[in-house]
Amino acid sequence: MTTCKPESFLPKPGLFILNATLALLVPLAPFAMAQESAAVISASDPKTVSTRLDLPDAPGFVFAVASSSADGNSPEANPTDPNPADPDGAGQSTTATRPKGSTHMNMVINPGEVAEPMSVRAKIISGMTNSVSFYSATGWLAAAGWEHLWNSSPNYGTDSGAFGERLGAAALRGVSEGVISNSFFAPLFHEDPRYYVMGRGHPFIKRAWYAGTRTIITRTDSGRTTPNFSLLAGNLAGSALTVPYYPPLNTSFKEVMITFGGSVGGSALGFVVDEFIVDALIDLHIKKKQPQP
């Protein structure tokens, strides 16, 4: 008769992350359906639209203008009206139709694009899909490459097998942070997880500073500025979840906080890329410039 070692009953890292994520997301289902119903009611309520127009810098304002533009007699439909600008200079609103893009670019709002308010359901879905997008995979590869180059945390070594372990760990950490931030904490804190591009017309340094600080500053669903609780909490939770699959050397409280700091830095770098990537592609003649509405 053989006996199983107690370690054999421990969940594998991937299963651990999946179970933890599902445990966090399941309680959101009733809330998601409730908010979906509320969104439908508010969209058809003139009083709600009027309230939204009191927040010219909010994503809801753009939605209200786009919804009312079908009525030619509506003052909000007047194309000669100046477009309101956000206090931070980003995401100026128009009634232009938002173009379709990749999974990640759907989470990036460029100047002149319509940004409809996100429901809880949309946040949950976008958190899951964006966390496993091609854009996210390039982030895993870059993180694993940097860690392997400097033989930094997680300390798996320097051989080819160690790079594979780092890549797998970067993927697990990235997916868990993205899902927890966008699918769980963004609905919980009523925050908009999308990135609003400041765009050309602003100095490079100002744009870079704006992008980097989006890790600690974001918008609420109503468009107001708020600390980025959802991203910080999600990155912290994702860093804590590395304990089951990181080497023992990297699982102390100090090492987890170092991982958290690296995750926040990676998020800041990702926002900087979001700010400049379209301009870079246009300048390299890889992407055509969108016509102004």
Q: pTM value? A: 0.68
The residue type found at 255 is E
225 inside domain: yes
93 inside domain: no
Whole-number pLDDT of residue 230: 97
Do the Cβ atoms of 61 and 93 come closer than 8 Å? yes
80 inside domain: no
**Size of the chain in residues:** 293
4 inside domain: no
Helices and strands (DSSP H and E) totals, the chain: 11, 5
The number of domains in the chain is 1
172 inside domain: yes
Whole-number pLDDT of residue 113: 82
68 inside domain: no
Q: Which of 58, 136, 63, 66 is nearest to 102 (CA)?
A: 136
The secondary structure of residue 199, as a DSSP letter, is -
Positive or negative CA dihedral for 166, 171, 172, 173?
A: positive
Domain containing 201 equals: 20-41+117-283
List of long-range contacts for 202-209, beta carbons under 8 Å, 24+ apart: 202/89, 206/89, 207/275, 207/276, 208/272, 208/275
Whole-number pLDDT of residue 291: 57
Whole-number pLDDT of residue 290: 62
The pLDDT profile of the chain, 293 residues, written as one tens digit per residue, is 444 443 333 344 444 444 544 444 444 444 444 444 444 344 444 444 333 333 333 333 333 333 333 333 333 333 333 333 454 555 544 444 445 556 777 889 988 887 888 999 999 999 999 998 888 899 999 999 999 999 899 999 988 789 999 999 999 999 999 999 999 999 999 999 999 999 988 999 999 999 999 999 999 999 999 999 999 999 999 999 999 999 999 999 999 999 999 999 999 999 999 999 888 877 776 766 665 55
Whole-number pLDDT of residue 89: 53
- How distant, in Å, are the alpha carbons of 21, 187, 290 from that of 98? 31, 23, 11
Whole-number pLDDT of residue 280: 83
2 inside domain: no
56 inside domain: no
Do the Cβ atoms of 207 and 276 come closer than 8 Å? yes
